[in-house]
Structure 1
Amino acid sequence: MIETPPHVVPFGPIRFSVLTFPSMRWVRTPRLSHRSDPESYALAFAQHNGTMALSRLGTDVVLGSRDLVLYDSSHAYDVRLAVPECAQASVTIAQFPQALLPLPRGHIDNLLGRRIAGNTGVGTLLTQSITSVLTGTTPFRAADAVRLGTILLDLLTAVLAHESDAHHTPPPQHEALLLRIQEFVCRHLGEPSLSPIAVANAHHISLRQLHRLFRTQDTTVAAWIRRQRLDRCRRDLADPRHGGSPVHAIATRWGFTDPAYFSRAFRAAYGISPSEHRNLTGCVVTTAAGSPVA
């Protein structure tokens, strides 16, 4: 039985729930998943002295304090949390629309229901940041909450990307070159002339060698450049500071010269249009006539 009601805190696209209770169990059945599916992901971690076990699709995983677990509202699951007698557990859950997670669906599916370390490396940064934001005493303005939500979603994405990349690590010398190339690309994303051949020439390697490096990332050079540009657009569309900028202006800022192509690429990547994404994150600015900026 939950001892205190859930404390729900919205931060832009993410809704955080903090629950405190003794040992308990909660189940989402296949029937409930089919009847009501908000098409969201949730990332949970607990601060307690006991163990948390999650069963999904016949696979069990046992989690310790600060361990993270990602689950999908479309799937059934069974969660059991056990703590010593008379003790209390506190679980933090971050829930967000599936369309906002900028990672390939196949990579995400491989991480569902698995233990993700939340007390080492980038996982520590995420859990500490979430805890700090939720336990702070200083109130946030609405615009601050939206920006913080975007930052926390980026951190969450970094944790999941790190877990996914751990299975595709290139040799050290190739990894160093790949990092230099990725940094170069990120510095020049706003230049429409940025292309695989331009990247290869800038690093004095052949186009074939460049493509071979990116195969370790399960993507192509052009697809990686496009994804980085789309991700920058996604963040700007959710940022109140850019709420007055038309969608096409944000796209142009990050190297997209064809608005129709940008709109198709954005929908293909995230499942929604740029304008729908802006609405979903709550960053909608209207014109003097009362219509939203498009």
Structure 2
Amino acid sequence: MHPIVFDTVEVPVADRPAAWVETMALAEVTQRVKFLETARFNARMELMPLGVGQLSTLSYASLVAQRTPKLVRQSDPEMYHVAVATGGEIGIDQHRQSSLLRQGDMGFFDSSRPFDTQAGEAPGHALLFQFPKGLLRVPHERFTALCGLSRPWTHGVGRMFGQFLVELSEQYPHCTPHQAAGLGATAVDLLMAVLTQEDDAPGGREPSQQATFVKMSAFVTEHLADPHLGPEMLAAAHHISLRYLHRVFQHNGTTPRTFIREQRMGRCRRDLADPALRHLTINAIAGRWGYPHPAAFARSFRSATGMSATEYRTLHAAPAAQDT
């Protein structure tokens, strides 16, 4: 697979700002952009679809991009974004938290809330990983608490995550669509480990309880295909009471049934958007993730996404750069 490349050097100087705004809207989210050096503006983006997610390499300078409340209301793909800085400086601002990303830092965004990004005269370089919120097996609040902040990706699990994205961007041309989708899922799993590491830091949640949640999260992932998966099965497998089970999930901002439903729905969305799985029927995909009854799946899918599974699959048959 080859990345989809947009480079302003291929566009007339006068048309570069408008072309960049349009490309950003298609590849990421709609933003209002102010160009500080219009006459000398240059930018480059490489888009690498990963099933329902996407990895992009970005290089740009002399601009301020704003995702305003109005733009959020007009269109929200409900995606999480993680920027891994590889050079220069990029400023980020969300949830009244601000950071300056330099090489070795990573920053976090939520498409459903307003945010600002800035780059000065020196080009900022970054890898941007974006994916549907439902694929991340941690509570929404865990991710949004980091929005606008920076964290290093130079050591520990963060290094594994950042280096994985770097290697993925370099080896992407050698991947098949099915492999790319699987690698996107791996990136989400590594990010979950990064967020769990946040909890293990001083001031984080009580370690034994968090360890229990991580174990149960892994158990859920391994048993999503089992239609009997539920709170009772989880509690029995981990030799804990239902009361303690609910307490653990409550401390992580969710409930066992909600967590299981979100993980199942995330896998269904991923498979429905995977071009390598077009040969599978919608009912077959639903069945492989614990939905044996088509009517129940249809209701759940529409409730979660606002559209039918058929409409979702048709929508994601278009080029991935248009999905967001």
The reply to whether TM is greater than 0.5 is: yes
2:254 to 219, 226, 238: 219
Deviation at 1:135, TM superposition (A): 2.4
In structure 1, distance between residues paired with 2:305 and 2:138? 9
Deviation at 1:140, TM superposition (A): 3.6
The question of whether the paired residues in 2 share the 8 Å contact of 1:29 and 1:77 is answered with yes
The question of whether the paired residues in 1 share the 8 Å contact of 2:51 and 2:274 is answered with no
In structure 2, distance between residues paired with 1:190 and 1:278? 20
The question of whether the paired residues in 1 share the 8 Å contact of 2:301 and 2:308 is answered with yes
1:43 to 82, 88, 107: 82
1:282 to 298, 311, 317: 317
For 1:68, the aligned partner's letter is: M
Query: 2:31: which partner in 1?
Result: none
The question of whether the paired residues in 2 share the 8 Å contact of 1:168 and 1:216 is answered with no
Query: 1:250: which partner in 2?
Result: 285
Deviation at 1:131, TM superposition (A): 1.6
Query: 2:242: which partner in 1?
Result: 207
1:71 to 106, 109, 121: 109
2:125 to 80, 85, 90: 90
In structure 1, distance between residues paired with 2:238 and 2:85? 45
Question: Superposition RMSD on alpha carbons, in Å?
Answer: 3.9
- 1:6 to 2:34 alignment: no
Query: 2:63: which partner in 1?
Result: 25
Query: 1:128: which partner in 2?
Result: 163
With 74-83 and 246-255 compared, the bigger mean Cα shift is at 74-83
Q: List runs of 5+ in structure 1 lacking aligned partners.
A: 285-294
| Secondary structure in 2 matching 1:230 | helix
The question of whether the paired residues in 2 share the 8 Å contact of 1:37 and 1:73 is answered with no
Deviation at 1:256, TM superposition (A): 2.0
Query: 2:93: which partner in 1?
Result: 55
Deviation at 1:19, TM superposition (A): 3.4
Deviations 1:200-226 (A, max 9, x none): 334443322332333222222222333
For 2:267, the aligned partner's letter is: R
Deviation at 1:113, TM superposition (A): 1.9
| Secondary structure in 1 matching 2:264 | helix
For 2:105, the aligned partner's letter is: D
Deviation at 1:128, TM superposition (A): 1.6
Query: 1:264: which partner in 2?
Result: 299
Deviations 1:37-95 (A, max 9, x none): 463644323222x5432234654222232322233456554433358xxx654223345
Change (3 A) 1:28 1:137: closer
Change (3 A) 1:129 1:280: farther
Change (3 A) 1:272 1:20: same
Deviations 1:92-115 (A, max 9, x none): 334556676676555554333222
The question of whether the paired residues in 2 share the 8 Å contact of 1:45 and 1:91 is answered with yes
For 2:247, the aligned partner's letter is: R
In structure 1, distance between residues paired with 2:204 and 2:175? 39
1:191-202 pair list within 5 angstroms: 191-202=226-237
The question of whether the paired residues in 2 share the 8 Å contact of 1:165 and 1:217 is answered with no
The question of whether the paired residues in 1 share the 8 Å contact of 2:83 and 2:127 is answered with yes
The question of whether the paired residues in 2 share the 8 Å contact of 1:100 and 1:270 is answered with no
For 1:252, the aligned partner's letter is: G
Q: How many residues align?
A: 278
Normalised by the length of structure 1, the TM-score is 0.71
Deviation at 1:230, TM superposition (A): 2.8
Query: 2:25: which partner in 1?
Result: none
The question of whether the paired residues in 2 share the 8 Å contact of 1:2 and 1:20 is answered with no
| Secondary structure in 2 matching 1:92 | strand
Query: 2:21: which partner in 1?
Result: none
In structure 2, distance between residues paired with 1:204 and 1:34? 44
In structure 2, distance between residues paired with 1:51 and 1:91? 9
Change (3 A) 1:190 1:76: closer
Q: List runs of 5+ in structure 2 lacking aligned partners.
A: 1-39, 320-324
Deviation at 1:249, TM superposition (A): 2.0
In structure 2, distance between residues paired with 1:108 and 1:157? 9
Normalised by the length of structure 2, the TM-score is 0.66
